[in-house]
Amino acid sequence: MADHYETLGVERTATADEIKKAYRRLAREFHPDVNPSEDASDRFKSVTHAYDVLSDARQREEYDLGPNPGFGGGGAAGFGDIFEAFFGAAAPGSGGSGAAPRSRKERGGDALLRVDVDLDEVIFGTKRDLEVATAVLCEACEGSCCAPGTRAVVCDICHGSGQIQRAVRSLLGNIMTSSPCGTCRGFGTVIPSPCPTCAGQGRVRATRKMTVDIPAGVDTGLRLQLPGQGEIGPAGGPHGDLFLEIKVKHNDIFSRNGDDLLATLEISMADAVLGTTAKFPGLDGPIELELKPGTQSAEVVTLKERGISRLRGNGRGDLKIGVQVLTPTKLNAREQELLRQFAGTYKAKAPQLAEFQQGLFAKLRDRFLHV
């Protein structure tokens, strides 16, 4: 790798003004607008990079020190043993293993998406076609972050280590400290020509289509984790996860209580007295319900295995139907007369307080709280 001072044609003791003058002269000579040859283009990049480093006081100092400067002076002998005795590790630059360069590849972020499902879809589960706005691999550079036809080069400040080491005086002598290289940000390499499509990130924003399975028995607030379906990481790093947050839509007829379904069936007074067969649509098909004569309000009829499939375990919950007997409020004269005749022949008890029935109130409470 060419020395930056040699690239600009100046001495290592050159002043900032001398470095600037040398760069201007060479830039005019090798600029692509003036000299379109490929060699001139490469020289122009080298000259520009050398100037970027040497014109910055901090980077120039790091470049002059190099990746492993000597301790200088006495006290260096045996320092590795002293460092290891105090800190349990070999001192950087003393023959021990230092920190590895930072990888450009990082894990992508997780994504959260809310999915609305109907109550009938919860019974047996369903599928959803989703469009997810996420980060995907840049096809132009395939995650390398470099413009097509180019590649990352070893950082000439830290020489690929990703770290800059400096000697600091202490009571124990000169101690080596290490910090990330400011030129390559600890990667150990620099990208002279970033990919223009992804701006050197190795990934771009896009909308990805996917089909997911929504299992039976899910409920509002549940989060389904899809490993590896989130954003791809920088430089083509591993994907994050995708989380689906479930929201079960309200149903006007059926309500849910755990794995059970609840509903209210309204019947006429005559049907309650004489009994009837009720037929009505359910979430999973038609329902036929036999009501015996003398059915009372607040009775709960249970249909086994007509509820929601259990998320964890076998079988389904039940369908519980609360019966509500409707008392007619508007009768014509003929209907009123018939009821009077019925009342005259039926030996009914007079209205009176009866023994308190806890079960009746429990049924009413459950019906009105959960339906």
**For the chain, how big is the Rg over CA atoms in Å?**
40
- The 10 Å CB-count burial string (b at 16+, else e) for 244-267 is bebebeeeeebbbbebbbbbebeb
Taking alpha carbons only, the member of 137, 145, 138, 136 closest to residue 194 is 145
Q: What is the dihedral of CA 23, 24, 25, 27, to 10 degrees?
A: 80
Question: Please, what is the end-to-end C-alpha distance for the chain in angstroms?
Answer: 78
Cβ atoms 303, 280 nearer than 8 A: no
Question: Using CA atoms, how far apart are residues 129 and 212, in angstroms rounded to an integer?
Answer: 7
Three-state secondary-structure class, residue 6 = helix
Token pair recorded at residue 182: 């400011």
Taking alpha carbons only, the member of 368, 137, 145 closest to residue 264 is 368
Question: Using CA atoms, how far apart are residues 288 and 214, in angstroms rounded to an integer?
Answer: 29
- Binding-site annotation, residues: 138, 141, 155, 158, 181, 184, 195, 198
Cβ atoms 69, 167 nearer than 8 A: yes
The length of the chain in residues reads 371
- Binding-site annotation, residues for Zn(2+): 138, 141, 155, 158, 181, 184, 195, 198
Cβ atoms 44, 38 nearer than 8 A: no
Alpha helices, DSSP H, located in the chain: 4-8, 16-30, 38-54, 57-65, 79-87, 119-124, 269-274, 333-345, 358-370
Question: Using CA atoms, how far apart are residues 20 and 18, in angstroms rounded to an integer?
Answer: 5
